[in-house]
Amino acid sequence: MSGMRGLSVFISDIRNCQNKEAERLRVDKELGNIRTCFKNEKVLTPYKKKKYVWKMLYIHMLGYDVDFGHMEAVSLISAPKYPEKQVGYIVTSCLLNENHDFLRLAINTVRNDIIGRNETFQCLALTLVGNIGGRDFSESLAPDVQKLLISSSCRPLVRKKAALCLLRLFRKNPDAVNVDGWADRMAQLLDERDLGILTSSTSLLVALVSNNHEAYSSCLPKCVKILERLARNQHVPQEYTYYGIPSPWLQVKAMRALQYFPTIEDPSTRKALFEVLQRILMGTDVVKNVNKNNASHAVLFEALSLVMHLDAEKEMMSQCVALLGKFISVREPNIRYLGLENMTRMLMVTDVQDSIKKHQSQIITSLKDPDISIRRRALDLLYGMCDVSNAKDIVEELLQYLSTAEFSMREELSLKAAILAEKFAPDLSWYVDVILQLIDKAGDFVSDDIWFRVVQFVTNNEDLQPYAASKAREYLDKIAIHETMLKVSAYILGEYGHLLARQPGCSASELFSILHEKLPTVSTPTIPILLSTYAKLLMHTQPPDPELQKKIWAVFKKYESCIDVEIQQRAVEYFELSKKGAAYMDVLAEMPKFPERQSSLIKKAEDVEDTADQSAIKLRAQQQPSNALVLADPQPVDGAPPPLKVPIVSGSTNPESVARSVSQAYGTLSSIDPQTPSPDLLSDLLGPLAIEAAPGAEQHGPIGAEGVPEEVDGSAIVPVEEQTNSVELIGNIAERFHALCLKDSGVLYEDPHIQIGIKAEWRGHHGRLVLFMGNKNTSPLTSVQALILPPAHLKLDLSPVPDTIPPRAQVQSPLEVMNIRPSRDVAVLDFSYKFGTNMVNAKLRIPATLNKFLQPLQLTSEEFFPQWRALSGPPLKLQEVVRGVRPLALPEMANLFNSFHVTICPGLDPNPNNLVASTTFYSESTGAMLCLARIETDPADRTQLRMTIGSGDPALTFELKEFIKEQLITIPMGSRALVPAAGPGPAPAPPVAQPPSPAALADDPGALLAGLL
Amino acid sequence: MGIRFILMVNKQGQTRLAQYYEWLTLEERRALEGEIVRKCLARNDQQCSFVEHRNYKIVYRRYASLFFMVGVDDDENELAILEFIHLLVETMDKHFGNVCELDIMFHLEKAHFMLEEMVMNGCIVETSKANILSSIQLMDKAH
């Protein structure tokens, strides 16, 4: 390696390591070496620095943490010579991210390189900014970069990089590109001859157009021109021709850019484009050379997308479908995969569904392909193309495939089969058949939602009840049935078993014995369902069967002392109830119909991690209006309104049901959807500080009867929707928060499944927090979501949190905090996850409180008093008498002040009952600002004091005063766990001074939250 | 954004080059690389070159013992990326002559330079081999 022997030796050593442990030892040794060199050698030669920095990159690539030496890497950027500078730039962009402090230090050097004359330096600097530049780069560099991009004196090698650099700056801050001035320049750029500039400029164009296509409409014909030039192979230099294809990448990019314009109005442009497209569609042949073939097909598939987007004439569309039909039957797996993928996209085009259906059998063949990537595409396509005409066939195929599918696909498959069956069932008995088969074949992968849904359907459709009951009875004859099957059968037979009474083997006592036979093997959650079924069976026996009654009472008796509360309660209550005769009949009467509700299945499908699936679901949702009422059932109840699309459902649905579904969507939103922030943000934030009450229980009207304990309402028996937040907390959230306000690491939240710890570092107005989320279980936590609700004064940037936390694993998520101006508001972390079917949601205050931006500072009397006198009075200096203070001895109070970084300066005040303190506050708007405080206590009455706070900023003075007041009044965080401020009774007298900007506060949920907590 | 990351991993699952165009923590990278490598290594020649993983699509190609894996957004043109991998390999071949795993391993910096000339901010910046290699020649000259 160009003279870096040490590096080669190190790489060889690593290569020779026999195992991971040996590798780690070697790496640790090297890291030690480098660290020592950086520390001890005052002047490192650029060569050595370069060598060490490459080693760091190598170690980083191997997956080891390199948490030092970043400064050295960054410092190479300012080296005068190209080789060092180059290393500095490349390694910096690999090791650091845009929020790294060191990167800010380099802004000036980078800018000097960009505006300097040396074009290789320009390239390096532009690449770095293009790869990791953040918002602050955007603000200071955008004009320079734009200048380079359009400069005619710059060579293409600089300009192409400037284009992608500008793209980054635009993404970080859309204001970096001024639309009015830039649109024309962008169009001019597309007139360039150089294909390098064009390749990167079209990428820039895609980003700009996707943001505002109208402003850039003049670029549209230019894109078509580029395509024409390439398609006709005019003036394409040899070096840009790839296996005979004129830059396939530029062709693809130009066609992609065109897909961001909604349509092409100008007839001559449209005509020119369609000529090119036609040529691509017709002129792409399969050739022997793999690379040439791939390149030409890359262009072809992009052309297909563009044709679909442009809604071409019918003839061209059918040409596309025919091509795709050909592709999905070829042997070459890549083409087959892409054929399936694009056919799924094609479903969005109107009028082609029928021609796609012709390929159904071929697609089904792909569902059995040995390659899982292809099977997934086939599954998606089948799911997308399913409608009432082919539902039976497709669902049949999915069920068949279910038995052989690998585990990773079974859950998705069963969910999709269930949704299709529900949506497109030609008759409901078929739907019941499908779901029962599904449970039978893949019980482990059938979530509770699926069987809850079938129960809802059966309950709401009288015609279906006898059929469902007899089917359920049939499955019970199987030797081994899945527990979910037992649950659903037991439930259905309890409700509707009596409808079968005249059939052989279906008397109440026979049903009881066949169910009860299975009880010893079931898990705890199934037992309550069986008990309810027994109670119902008993109630339905007319005339009463003393024999059966004896048996069932014996069961109830047995479970009366069960350790599980649910089982015990049901056993006791059913036993008592069953002695009551007529009242018993009322309580245990058939369940009333379920209220109309959106299918939780479809909702769930939307949550499915795989975005490929999501695309199909979105697609499906778009076709929804025509299919929503497909279930030809008298009760609109079954029409399963499409989720989220509700307000846009078109005229085909009757208005009443739309209104209902709308009200439903809003009415229950807060309890259903963990993802969308509720429109009523405030109540969402205020109500459940940590844990919401489980919803749903009151949805089913209880059947009133005198003397009936309330617990025996519908919800005890009915499968309720997913329970949310049924976890018990460990520790008190408010106490944990308050502890973290005064220290920088600790536990923020804990329940039986997860522990969230926090570790923070503060420097000036910046803070870096790391959230540690540890899964305490042996099974994964899924649907993990963490959202930050920032107050207006903080800029927060939370790194993405993975969707799943593996068993016993801990994930870390850094959170960057920047304090913009003084405020006591707190940021809130809206955190949720799923454990099994339990959705848990917690809203947690983040301890990025005002005091974190204070730096201790001790002043002498010579320093203090001139400053103190310089602050003349309100609004810079505020005084207030505070009552209701928790009595504290003076040294304790001094400790308290010190603990939140307001440093007591002893001996400054001649009166021994007074305290004088000082601190420095950091925020972006105030910079570092000195704050002074004086507390005058009354030895006769420790519950009151007078405090005077001063600083150079009125808002800061006010906020700090209020903050200190809160601390003085509410620090006792005993077991009561009260939250500070407005709530508790002996609230302090309203402040003399006016709050800084009440209007701003009102707009900010975080602020409201903090004010009301 | 297009390209999210480019990995070169050998048959034993050892990473030879990793370049990310979005910031992931070390933990996330390790997990991601592990999962992807496991998935790709388990596939055979008769299967297609695309693997869906989380919200990425992995376009991969194997050259002797080395796998080139490119993570892209779901809507990226897969074949264009597949041939872009080949362009990268041809470029390295042109520079090293008969490029092999060891070349990339011991000339990590050159591999990085080439990549840097070809991809920026997750977008393709240059596809002419002569232009890509000009900066490396410049560096060689400086020595």
In tens, the pLDDT along A372-403 reads 999 999 999 999 999 999 999 999 999 999 88
Say yes or no: A291 contacts chain B, CB-CB below 8 A. Answer: yes
Cβ-based contacts of A15 with chain B (< 8 Å): 105
Nearest CB partner across the interface for A240, out of B77, B120, B127: B127
CA distances to A90, A466, A619, A625 from B29, rounded to whole Å, are 19, 56, 32, 42
The 10s digit of each residue's pLDDT in A563-589 is 899 999 999 988 888 887 766 777 777
**Nearest 5°: phi and psi at A560?**
-55, -30
| pLDDT of A759 higher than 60 | yes
Q: Report helix, strand or coil for A1.
A: coil
Please check the confidence at residue A320 and state whether its pLDDT lies above 60.
yes
Instruction: Name every chain B residue with its beta carbon within 8 A of the beta carbon of A172.
Output: none
**Which residues of chain A are within 8 Å of residue B113 when distances are taken between CB atoms?**
86, 90
Instruction: Give the model's confidence band at A191: pLDDT under 50 very low, under 70 low, under 90 confident, else very high.
Output: very high
Rounded Cα–Cα distance for residues A834 and B103 (Å): 47
Chain A: give the shortest CA distance to residue B1, in Å: 9
Q: Report the candidate in B51, B60, B43, B53 with the shortest Cα–Cα distance to residue B7.
A: B60
**Shortest Cα–Cα distance, A586 to chain B (Å):** 51
Backbone angles phi, psi at A541, to 5 degrees: -75, 110
Chain A interface test: which of B62, B117, B121 (most A C-beta within 10 Å): B121
Classify residue A477 by its DSSP letter. T
What secondary structure does DSSP assign to A560-612, as a single string?
TT-SSHHHHHHHHHHHHHHTSTHHHHHHTSPPPPPPP---HHHHHHHH-S-HH
Instruction: Say which residue the tokens 């259903």 belong to.
Output: A672
Interface of B with A in 58-77 (CB under 8 A): 74, 77
Per CB-CB distance under 8 Å, the chain B contacts of A160 are: 125-126
Residue B43: its chain A contacts at CB < 8 A? Answer: 371
Q: What mean pLDDT do residues A75-100 have?
A: 88
Among candidates B18, B19, B123 on the partner chain, residue whose Cβ is nearest the Cβ of A203? B123
Contact residues on chain B for A199, CB-CB shorter than 8 A:
124-127
Is A803 in Cβ contact with B46 (below 8 Å)?
no
Range ranked top by mean pLDDT from A380-384, A540-544, A913-917? A380-384
Task: Read off the pLDDT band of A625 (50, 70, 90).
Answer: very low
Single out the residue of A135, A144, A77, A91 nearest to residue A114, CA to CA.
Answer: A144
Contact B21 A131 (CB under 8 A): yes
A1 closest CB neighbour out of B25, B77, B107 = B107
CA distance A578 to chain B (A): 53
A1002: pLDDT strictly greater than 70: no
Q: Which residue has the higher pLDDT, A581 or B26?
A: B26
Could you tell me if B121 lies within 8 Å of chain A, comparing CB atoms? yes
For residue A975, the model assigns a pLDDT of 37
What are the Cα distances from residue A1003, in Å, to A71, A684, A788, A998, A1007?
41, 16, 17, 9, 8
Write out pLDDT tens, residues A859-879. 888 888 888 888 888 888 888
Contacts of A298 in chain B (CB under 8 A): 77-80, 82-83
* Candidates B1, B44, B46, B125, partner chain A, best to mutate (most A CBs within 10 A): B125
Tell me if A160 and B26 make a contact (CB, 8 A cut-off).
no
- Kindly state whether A3 is in contact with chain B, defined as any CB-CB distance less than 8 angstroms: yes
pLDDT band (50, 70, 90) for residue A972: very low
CB contact under 8 A, A1 and B108: yes
Regarding predicted confidence, which is higher, A968 or A244? A244
pLDDT at A332 over 80: yes
Q: How confident is the model at residue A635 (pLDDT cuts 50, 70, 90)?
A: very low
- H or E element: which one contains A555? helix A546-559
In this prediction, residues A158-186 reach a mean pLDDT of: 92
Residues 802-841 of A with CB under 8 A from B: 802-803, 811-812, 814
Angstrom distance (rounded) from CA A550 to CA A570: 17
Q: Is A376 on the interface with B (CB under 8 A)?
A: yes
CA-wise closest residue to B10 among B138, B102, B80, B132 = B102
* Residue A50 to chain B, least CA–CA distance (Å): 11
Under the banding of pLDDT at 50, 70 and 90, the label for residue A649 is very low
Nearest residue of B to residue A157 by CA position? B131
Position A703 pLDDT exceeds 50: no
| Phi and psi angles of residue A118, each rounded to the nearest 5 degrees, phi first | -80, 110
* Range with the poorest average pLDDT among A355-364, A471-480, A621-630, A784-793: A621-630
Whether residue A802 is predicted with pLDDT greater than 60 in this model: the reply is yes
A337 contacts in chain B (CB < 8 Å): 48, 50, 78
User: What tens digit of pLDDT does each residue of A893-907 get?
Assistant: 888 888 888 988 888
DSSP annotation of A507: S
C-alpha A624/C-alpha A627 separation (Å) is 5
Distance from CA of A782 to the nearest CA of B (A): 13
A11 close contact with B: CB closer than 8 A: yes
pTM for this model (two decimals)? 0.64
Contact by Cβ (8 Å): A230, A247: yes
Residue among A90, A161, A333 minimizing CB distance to B125: A161
What is the mean predicted confidence (pLDDT) over A226-245? 94
* Residue B139 or A739, more confident: A739
pLDDT confidence of A601, banded at 50, 70, 90?
low
One-character DSSP codes across A889-941: -HHHHHHHHHHTT-EE-TT-SSSTTEEEEEEEEEETTTEEEEEEEEEEEETTE
- pLDDT of the residue at B138: 76
A333 touches chain B (CB under 8 A): yes
For chain A, percent of residues with pLDDT exceeding 90: 36
Q: Which residue has the higher pLDDT, A69 or B115?
A: B115
> Which tokens in the block code for residue A192?
């360039």
Give me the residues of A, 579-638, that contact B with CB < 8 A: 609-612, 615
A471 or A779, higher pLDDT = A471
Q: What is the pLDDT at residue A989?
A: 41
Per-residue pLDDT at A335 exceeds 90: yes
* The pLDDT of residue B98 is above 60: yes
The answer to whether residue B27 neighbours chain A at the CB level (below 8 Å) is yes
Contact A59, A28 (CB under 8 A): no
Among A146-160, A531-545, A834-848, the range with the most confident prediction by mean pLDDT is A146-160
User: Counting Cβ atoms within 10 Å, is residue A487 exposed (0-12), middle (13-18) or buried (19+)?
Assistant: buried
Which pLDDT value is given to residue A980? 38
Burial category of B44 from C-beta neighbours within 10 Å (exposed 0-12, middle 13-18, buried 19 and up): exposed
Residue A632 confidence class, pLDDT cut points 50, 70, 90: very low
% of residues, chain A, pLDDT over 70: 82
pLDDT over 70 at A338, yes or no: yes
Distance CA A110, CA A107 (A): 5
3-class secondary-structure state, position A278: helix
Which residue carries 């994930």 as its tokens? A811
Quickly count: other Cβ atoms within 10 Å of residue A565's Cβ. Answer: 8
Interface test with A, best of B36, B55, B65, B79 (most A CBs within 10 A): B79
Predicted confidence at residue A3, as pLDDT, reads: 60
Among A358-362, A577-581, A815-819, B100-104, name the one with the lowest average pLDDT. A577-581
DSSP A841-856: EEEEEE---GGGGEEE
Separation of alpha carbons A125 and A112, rounded Å: 9
Tell me the pLDDT of chain B averaged across its residues.
92
pLDDT band at A223 (very low <50, low <70, confident <90, very high): very high
A711: pLDDT strictly greater than 60: no
* pLDDT single digits (tens) A475-521: 999 888 899 999 999 999 999 988 888 888 888 889 999 999 998 88
CB of B143 within 8 Å of a chain A CB? The answer is yes
Helix H or strand E segment including A948: strand A941-951
Would the CB atoms of B124 and A802 count as touching at under 8 Å? no
Cα–Cα distance between A595 and A590 in angstroms, integer?
15
pLDDT value for A697: 34
Scanning B82-111 for CB atoms below 8 A from A yields: 82-84, 86-87, 105-109
